Structure 1
C-alpha cells in the first residue's frame, strides 16, 4: 500500500496539515502548490517519523536509509524519492542498456516506462557528477570529467549514445563506483595516506574504463601534455567531514547496489503497522489547517 500511494502522501500532507498563505490561488495553481511546495515540509516530518522507528529499534540502519528522504533534496533536477521506491531500478536500467544494441529511442522508451527508473537514472548521474567534482582539487582533473560529461550529453542529444558507447560495460563501471563509495564512507580517522592512494588509483581505473572500455572515441581524453603530476594525485577529501555529503554517498550506494525489491521494507510488523497508520491518517476527512494567527487562543 505504501509504495502505491507514497507519491500522493506529500500532497495529502500539504492539503490537510499545511496552511495556505495569502489569497487563495486558482485550482490549477493550488494543485501544483500542494504537489511541489510542501514536499520539503513533509520530508522533515517523514524523516523524524522514520528516525523514531530506528530509535525504538523497530527498523535497522539499512531500512532507515531505504525509507528516509534525503536532506540534500534539491541537489538534483528530479525529486529524490526514498530509496525503497527506487530499489533495484539502477540494476534493471543497466540490464536494459546492455540489451539495447541499435537505437537510443528504444532505450529511452524502456527507461521512461517506469517513472521511478527514470528518477533513479537521472539522480545517480547527477549525484555521481556532484561527488566527483567535489573530490577534484586540480583544474586538469575537472577537465577530464568535463570532457567525458560533454561527450556523453552530446551523444544523448544527437541520439547516438548506443553507437558511440559500449553500454554492456556499464556494470563494470557501477562496480567501480561501489568500491569508490565504500572507501569514501570510511570514517575520517581511517582516511590515512594509504586510503587516499587507493581512492586516487580507483579514480584512475574508473576513468580508464570510461574512456577506453565504454567510450569508442575517448582514447585521447586522459592525455594532457601540460599535466604536471599524475591524474587525481591531489584530491580534496574535506567533503568526508560533511554529514550531508556522506548521506549522499550512502544513498547513491544503495541505488547502485540494491538488486532486490524493497517491497517488504520494513520487515518488522509493528513498524509496518505504524507506517500504514501514518500514511492512512493523511487521507482521512479533516478540516484544513488554519494559519496560526487565525487559531483561537487556548486561554
Structure 2
C-alpha cells in the first residue's frame, strides 16, 4: 500500500510540474521574466536522474524549482559549522526547514551523480565509493563531527566544488582545464575523506602499481542530461537571491502569486476534459444554467463593477431589453472574464494541457522522466 501511495504521489508531482512549467514558459514568451528567471522557476526537464542518498532501496529524488532552494546551501553550512551538538541534532535542525532539507539531499546526490558520470577508471570509481561508504558509516554511527572537520573543511569542500562545477559547466573550456579539474578532484577527495594516506595505500594495493595521479581519466560531459544537471548544480550552489525578490517584473510576480494562492483556495473541481470538448466561447458550458437574476446582474465585483455595466460599455448602441439575451450574454461574459483572469486566455494549448492532466498514464509519465 505504501508503494502505491508513493507512485500516486510521484504521478501528482509530474503532473504539477507539467502545468507549472507551462505557466513559466508562457511568462517567458510574453517576455515578463528573463532567461535566468525562467531557468530558476522551472522544474528540471528530466527530473528523476538523481537517487536519494543513504537509502537501502533506490528512490528517485524529486528536483524542485531553484527559486525554492535559493540560499539554502549557505544556511545549512552555517548550521553545520556553528552547531556543537552531534550530527543527528544538526540534521534535525536542518529538517525543520523543508527547503533546506531538500537542498542538502540534492547537493549530495548531485555530487555522486557527477562523479559517476565523469569518472571512467574503475579504481577512481572505487575511491568515490570508499568516501561515500565512509561518510555513510559515520552518519549511521553519529560520528560525523569526530571523523570530519565541519567547521573549516566544509567551507574548503564548498569552494573547490564550486570551482570544479564551474569548470565542467562549459564543455569546451573543460577540455582546456583538464589538469585543473584533476587537481580539484584530488583536493575535494582529500578534504572529504580525511584519511587520504590510508586511502592511497589501499588504492595502491588494489592497483598493484599506481601509474599517474588519481582521477587522471575523465569523460567529457557530452550528453545533454549531464550538462543540464551541472548547470542546475552550479546554480544550486551559488544562487543567493531572496525568493521574495523574484521575479523582478511586478506583473509576473502578481500572476505567480495569484496562481500559487489559487492552489490553496477551496474551489470546486473542474469537469473532465471530455465534458469540456463541446465548449465554445459563444455557447454555455455542458449542462450549465444561463439564467442570471437581476440581483446577480447588479452585483459588484471586487473592483466595484457590475455585469450590466460591462454589457452597457461593450454594446453601447444596443437596447438591453431582451432579458434572456441579457442573461445569456451576462453569464457568458461573467464566465469568460473569470476564465481570462485566471488563465490569461483560453487556447488550444490549455485544452491539451488539461487533457494531459486528466488522461496521463503511468507509461506516459515514465516517458517524461
Compute the TM-score of the two structures, normalised by the length of structure 1: 0.79
| Structure 2 residue matching 1:263: 3-state secondary structure | helix
1:269 lines up with 2:250 in the alignment: yes
Matched, 1:118 2:96: no
Match of residue 258 from structure 1: 239
> Given the superposition, is the C-alpha separation of residues 31 and 59 from structure 1 closer, same or farther in structure 2, using an over 3 Å criterion?
same
Per-residue deviation, 1:36: 3.7
Matched, 1:60 2:34: yes
Tell me the residue number matched to 1:201. Answer: 183
Superposition CA RMSD, Å? 2.8
Question: 1:29 and 1:173 mapped to 2: Cα distance?
Answer: 36
Shift of 1:142: 0.5
Choose from 193, 207, 222 the match for 1:241: 222
Unmatched 5+ stretches in structure 2:
53-60, 281-369
Flag structure 1 segments of 5+ consecutive residues without an equivalent.
1-25
In structure 2, distance between residues paired with 1:105 and 1:209: 21
Equivalent in the alignment of 1:76:
51
Q: Secondary structure at the match of 2:51?
A: coil
Please list every run of at least 4 consecutive aligned residues from structure 1 whose deviation after the TM superposition is greater than 4 angstroms.
28-35, 294-299
- The Cα shift of 1:107 comes to 0.8
After the TM superposition, which residues 134-283 of structure 1 pair with which residues of structure 2 at under 5 Å, given as runs? 134-168=117-151, 169-186=153-170, 188-192=171-175, 194-211=176-193, 215=194, 217-223=195-201, 224-225=203-204, 226=207, 227-237=210-220, 240-282=221-263, 283=265
Number of residues paired by the alignment? 264
| CA–CA distance in structure 2, aligned partners of residues 33 and 202 of structure 1 | 39
Matched with 1:10 is: none
CA contact (8 A) 1:155 1:164 kept: yes
Find the aligned partners of 2:7 and 2:188 in 1 and give their Cα distance. Answer: 42
Greater RCO, CA 8 A, separation 6+ = 1
Q: Is 2:269 the partner of 1:287?
A: yes
Q: Deviations over 1:135-194 (max 9, x none)?
A: 0000010011011000000000011111111011211111111111111111x44343x2
